[in-house]
Structure formats: structure tokens, C-alpha cells
Amino acid sequence: MWRFVARRLLHALPVLLGTTFLIYTLVFVLPGDPIQGLAGDKPVPPAVLAELHARYHLDDPLWTQYAHYLAGLLTGDLGTTFTGRDVSDLLADRWAVTLQLGLTAWVLELVLGMALGVWAGLRKGKWDDSAVLFGTTLIISVPVFVVGYLAQLVFGVRLGWLPVAGTEGGWPLAFLLPGLVLASFGLAYVARLTRSSLIENLRADYVRTAHSKGLSRRRVVVKHTLRNSLIPVVTFLGLELGGLMAGAIVTEYIFNLPGVGQQLFQSIQLREGPVVVGTTTALVLVFLLANLLVDLLYGLLDPRIRHD
């Protein structure tokens, strides 16, 4: 198994290199001068412009700029923003927020989504199954910002149960509501996926065998059906781990959380190459690790795809 992990980590290197280069190029070809953009409408003295251009290598060709960036990256230096802050410091703060938000949402998806799915699957065709199906369809079809504002209004303003916005309450209080909003789509999807996978597996031959052995229904479901049903759910949840971090922009905006998404949006507007590339690279890294985790979990769930 360790050989498999090592091989996968090696594979990750070219992917990381490729993505950083791609993002770097995209920022490079954006029109307009970033220094001028920083100053807005006010004219920038030519001497200052030249000095800043030289410091940030802005006049060098793409290859040279990228090489500078990579060299820095290897020594652990992610560069500085135009305002002089270390990108790594900036990202650390932002990532702390996004990680708390993303993981809260992920755990909600995992626990609530699977629980709802199993419940509905076992009660197929009954009223509560229909209720779950209806509810999840509704959540999937409503855009996240509508869910977000609605949740703020109901739980934050009217009921006053949870903070409306900001990180003041700290984890978990301040992250429960945004976490739930961020998780809503995935949660509904996990519930539906678990439900259909469970129903399909309950019809499998080996489940009939389990019944023929005289096992209780509980044992048939828990031991002989659930594990087999979770394989597609694990795939989705693994990808969600990355997706939730990257997809948190809207939620971070609604709940005013200073996370990576907000940062990324601002940096793109300001054309701050190092920040955009650094943020994206970190996101790619999260995705790659999540994928690796999924593959390892597969082997745990299904011996037929064990990596040895």
C-alpha cells in the first residue's frame, strides 16, 4: 500500500507544476497594469512605477517570472503582496477560516446526508422516504445564496439562535450556519446517493443469501448491505472535501467570513499573481490529497480493489 501512496504522491508533482504554471500564465495575460490598478484613478509617478515593476519582475517575460516564482516556492517563499505582506502569512490566516468552514460542512454532509439516505432507503416508498426525496430535490434546485440569506434571516435574525455573520463566535458556533448552508447541496446529494445505492444493494443476491442464513434484518442491513452501498458515497464525499474549500466563495461572502474564497476573489481583481497562484496551488493540493484518501478508502471498503 505504501508503494501505491508513494507513486500517487510522485504523480502529484507534475500536476502541481502544471496547475501553478497554468494559473500563473492566466494572471500574466490579464490586461492592464497591476500597479496602476492598485492606485486606482490617481496617476502613479513613473519612477515609482519603474521601481515596483523591477521589484516584482513585472517587465520580465513569462518564463523568467515563473522561474522566479518557482525558485521562491522551493525555498518556502510564496512571495509578497503588493502591499508588502508575506503571502504565506496571509494564506495561513485565510486557510484557517476556510478549513473550519469546509470541514464543518463536510462533517454535516457525511453524518446528516448518510443518515437521511439510510433512513429513506430502508423506508422506501413510505411517506418519510417521499419527504426526504422532496426535501432534497428542493435543496438541490435552490441556489446557494438563496439558501444562505434565508438561513441568515430565519436562524440568525428571527430566531436569533446563531450568529448572523462574521467569525466572532469562533468555532463551532460561528461556523454552524454557514457550514450548513455550504453543505446543503452536497448533503442533499449524499442523502439521495446513499438512498439509491442502499436500495440497489438490498436487491443484491448476497443480501438474499444473508436472509437465507436466518440473520436478523438489522444484521443483514448493517453487515451485509451498508458497506457495499457506501462506495459511491465515499467517492463523492472525497471529492467534496476539496470542492467545499474551493466552492466556499459565495458562502464566505454571505456570512462575511475572511476565508480563501474571499481572498482569491480580491486577489484576482488586484491581479496579485503570487496570491492567486499560491491560493490555487493549495486548493489543488487539497484536491489531490482528498483523491488519494478516496482511493485508499476504496480498498478498505472493497477488497476487490485493494492496492497491494
Partner 1 sequence: MSADTPPLLEVDDLCVEFRTRRGTIRAVNGLSYTLHEGETLALLGESGSGKSVAAQAVMGLLDTPPAHITRGSVRLRGEDLLSMPPEHRRAARGTRVSMIFQDALTALNPVLTVGDQLSEMFRVHRGEGRKAALARAVALMDRVRIPAAARRVHDYPHQFSGGMRQRVMIAMALALDPEVVIADEPTTALDVTVQAQIMRLLKQLQDETRMGLLLITHDLGVVAQAADRITVMYAGRTVESAGAEDLYTRPGHPYTRGLLDSVPRLDRMGKPLVPINGAPPLPSSVPTGCAFHPRCPRAEPRCGREAPPYHTLSTAGHRSACHFAEEVHRAPVG
- Residues in contact with partner 1 by CB under 8 A are 204-206, 208-216, 219, 223-224, 227-228, 301-304
How far CA 159 is from CA of 151, 170, 183, 252, in Å, comes to: 10, 20, 21, 22
Helices (H), the chain: 2-29, 34-39, 46-55, 62-74, 87-108, 114-122, 127-141, 144-151, 173-202, 205-212, 217-221, 227-246, 249-254, 260-270, 273-301
As measured in angstroms, the least distance from the Cβ of 223 to partner 1 is 8
CB of 211: closest distance to partner 1 in angstroms?
A: 6
Quote the least distance from Cβ 208 to partner 1, whole Å.
Answer: 6
Query: Under a CB-based contact definition with an 8 Å cutoff, are residues 95 and 283 in contact?
Result: no
**Least distance in Å: CB of 220 to partner 1?**
10
Please identify, using beta-carbon distances, which residue of 135 and 299 lies nearer to partner 1.
299
Sign of CA dihedral 263, 268, 272, 275: positive
Q: Pick the closer one to partner 1 by CB: 86 or 302.
A: 302
Beta carbon nearer to partner 1, 31 or 303: 303
We find the least distance from the C-beta atom of residue 195 to partner 1, in angstroms, to be: 18
Other Cβ atoms less than 10 A from the Cβ of 266: the count is: 12
Closest to partner 1 by CB, 161 vs 206, is: 206
Decide: helix, strand or coil at residue 79: coil
Closer by beta carbon to partner 1, 141 or else 212 = 212
